[in-house]
A and B are shown apart, each in its own frame.
Chain A
Amino acid sequence: MRYLELIRKNGPLTLFAVSGVAVLRALRHAEQAGLKPLGRRGGTYTVEINRDPDSLPTDAAQWPAALTALAVEVVDVQVDPIPGRHTTRLRATARDGYGDLGRRVRETKQILETGEILRSPAVPDRDATAGELR
């Protein structure tokens, strides 16, 4: 299924509602990624991706696992061109109170823009050896 062709023809598109094949692919993708079910907080999370819609993957299976896993959780994912900006709006809505949505949408954006998810390290263990400020 060529999703972005549908975007151009039909406007906003519910990505994973349009194809059983896409959902199956998403399930497999999420399983491979080892993603856990979402938490309880839900709502809508929207980001702007600094890429022209034409440059984005046209096959759902090629989208980042962080996003395809959302399909498993019955989340509506919409991808729209932003008029005049040559960028893309990615909007995910959790219908039944699913959470952790923001992190997954942000990670999807990061992968599509930078190629990877930025990691921050844990706070180090401490072993004080010197004085204090007074």
Chain B
Amino acid sequence: MKALCWQGVGRLAVETVPDPVLLNRQDALVRVRASSVCGSDLHLLNGFVPAMKPGDVIGHEFLGDVIEVGADVRRHRPGDRVVVASPLGCGACVHCAQGRWSLCDNSNPQPELAEAVFGHAGAGIFGYSHAFGGFPGSHAEYIRVPFADHGAFTVPEELSDEQALFLSDAAPTGWMAAEQAGAGPGRTVAVWGAGGVGQMAARAAQLMHAEEVVVIDRVPARLEAAVRNLPGVMTIDATEENVHERLVELYAGRGPDCCIEAVGMESDSAGPQRVYDRVKQRLIPGTDRAGALRQAVRACAKGGTVSVAGVFGGFVDKFPMGAVMNKALTLRSGQQHGQKYIPDLIDAVVRGDLDPSVLATHRMGLDQGPYAYELFNHRADGCLRAVLYPGRSEAPQPAP
């Protein structure tokens, strides 16, 4: 089959690789219908996540059709159209049993590196390096889905592929970020990052009846997309305004109660900080650029919550721990627990409360995968999410 593979830092290519096969009794094989680029793929591509090997198939946000199931799969059969959570969860360990699926004890067969760096290993993740299990990703014609009864969810007929696709990762990541931030009535919410996850977090906060939601970014096209996709949301262009001063002004000197960081380890900054962060990250492996996180902690209201949805992989310097302690902030984070959220999110899309398909700005065949990432990496042409269609020579065009 064809698959989009990591070749080295900054290099992707479509390769011919062996078709996946069932390796465990709880596996399903899925023919990929659609697979999206994701911001966290850029961390792999740009060399900030260790343990990638040339030939690794990337991609973790996808839906497809079940074509074969293992002997112990009970909830799916060939022909099911399924959306699959990006982290793998066994459904049996203490973490899965408590709904903390991305902390699964049993889904990362290669936990040694993660244990060495993080103290404990989290769940395996599709297409996300050998530190997260070495599972081939979804930018391919077919994919093996371990623990299919727990991670794959049948998509109702009334949902389009693109409405369901982002329930795999962006939507549950955003929802979990808003939930962990404590978004709700009477609470003000600020979201750093107007990409796919940031927009889903902002929409989640709206659906949780937050008092006000403001989205912050440095890319005007993304802020325009946020305004278009999220009626009622406010925006701050970080290249035009002092974010801290603007938030203080908006919220009567208090600052936002709930701060959601949806940027991660490659956050951009301005001035000397920008130069410092970029040089530091290149020279010292394992150091993350955390401009948005620092800003969120500083801006957060006293007693508020900072919820980190952006992916970090290593160490952060100049982290304002003094602000966390002296403002009595709560810090929440984690890879998304999709298995917990996806059923409710499917219902939200069916009801019309949520339409994640607004994130799909570009559509193309698998052969154009390197181009998709080039667009996405440079935020070119208003690219929020490029969707790859492995099974089609011509990708579908957006509805007029």
Contacts and interface: CB of A to CB of B under 8 A. Distances in A.
A108 B103 CA distance: 18
Contacts of A87: 94
Contacts of B10: 133-134
Interface residues of B, number: 53
A106 B324 CA distance: 36
Contacts of A128: 5, 7, 13-15
Given A50-B93, A126-B5, A118 B109 contact: yes
Dominant secondary structure at the B interface:
loop
B55 interface: yes
A125 B55 contact: yes
Interface in A85-114: 85, 87, 102, 106, 109-110, 113-114
Contacts of A106: 106, 111
A109 B18 CA distance: 31
B17 interface: yes
Dominant secondary structure at the A interface:
loop
Interface residues on A, range: 20 to 34
B135 A114 contact: no
B149 to A, nearest CB: 11
Contact of B373 (A121, A127, A133): A133
Given A87-B94, A110-B106, A132-B370, A119 B14 contact: no
Interface stretch (B20-28, B167-175, B258-266): B20-28
Interface string A51-71: 000000000000000000000
A48 interface: yes
Interface of B: 2-3, 5, 7, 10-18, 20, 23-26, 45, 53-57, 72, 90-94, 97, 105-107, 109-112, 124, 133-136, 144, 146-147, 367, 369-371, 373-374, 377
